[in-house]
Amino acid sequence: MSKGRKVWFLSILSIFFGALLLVSGNTEVKASGINDYIISNKIQPAKIQYREGTFSEWFGYENGVGKPEGVVVHETATPGVNAEQFVTSFNNNWKTQQTYVHAFTDDKETINIHSADYGVWGAGPAANYRYIQIELCRVNGYDAFAHSIANDAFYVASKLIQYNLPDIPGQTVLSHHQISLKYHETTHVDPDTYFAAQGYSMDEMNSMISYYYNNLKNYGNVYAEGGNTNAGSNNNGSTPSANVLRVNNSNGNYVPIMALKNDGTFARVTNRALMNNTDWQTDKTKESNGVTYRRVATNEWVDTTYVI
């Protein structure tokens, strides 16, 4: 969870539970009781809220801006603190704590506070320059845990789709524990201990992510049939796969980014830009002075004349 070491250390517990095979349309998932509960009740993931946080270290990934290699799943290790409270704490204290992540989720909401086009400080230098990172908050109760898992899995699946990444457990989807073993820059084992205490595991989380990923890719919804299938999609009710823009500047080497100001006008962002012929997920449209802009990150907009 931090750039350096956490102040607490977690021990590894291993609890194995029987699994049953669920089939929805052409999508299969190996599910424990939690996954079964999520799917059979068609729990709708929370919409991802995009806010601009205070993290001012804008650095691209190893392969470039907008080119993460996957997503790291963390958990906060702090009971009784929700996503909103963690967002406030991180925005106020990241400079002294030397830690920041892209998003927090609990059983009620998912809040993205830094553009996933850029790295953060969450799992050591090697991982920070490769992966999107989300923290899962600890909640109380079976139903609350199931909702938080649905939110977490949806966020991961959505980001894999947004950045045209395959769903490969251990490669494009990793726990912080797996990151520790891979790069040896941290000693964290989350979310293993928290999951085990809930009768859950990272393998089962991978199954839930795959279920959402495949359904979003194949059907445009988190569930193949029935239910309010757009509840977990973007704010305008469209699915992530239907809201991807390809941008290109035929007169330059990159596409300029604009920031929305308080007065409703736009100003050029001077310290970053979008690469030509890259895809970006969008969730909002805004018009100003006769120009239409599409939002591609927290407060990053692109003039639609660059959309191809």
Per residue in 46-104, pLDDT tens? 999 988 899 999 999 999 999 999 999 999 999 999 999 999 999 999 999 999 999 99
Question: What dihedral do alpha carbons 297, 84, 128, 51 form, nearest 10°?
Answer: 10
Share of the chain above pLDDT 70, in %: 84
Phi, psi of 158 (to 5 degrees): -65, -40
> What pLDDT score does 9 carry?
30
- Whether cis (ω within 30° of 0) applies to the bond prior to 45 is no
Element containing residue 145 per DSSP (H, E): helix 142-162
Share of the chain above pLDDT 90, in %: 68
Mean pLDDT of 153-163: 95
C-alpha angle 47/178/169, rounded to 5°?
60
Q: Which residues contact 154 (CB under 8 A, 6 or more apart)?
A: 45, 46, 48, 110, 212, 222, 232
> What pLDDT score does 274 carry?
81
Cross-sheet strand order for the sheet of 254-260: 266-275, 254-260, 300-303, 291-297, 285-288
Sequence letter at residue 143: D
User: Please, are residues 142 and 82 in contact by the beta-carbon 8 Å criterion?
Assistant: no
Residue 224 reports pLDDT greater than 90:
no
> What pLDDT score does 52 carry?
86
Alpha helices in 220-298 (DSSP H): none
Structure tokens at 105: 């989720």
> What pLDDT score does 29 carry?
40
The span from the first CA to the last CA of the chain, in angstroms, equals 38
> What pLDDT score does 282 carry?
84
> What pLDDT score does 1 carry?
59
Mean pLDDT of 187-202: 96
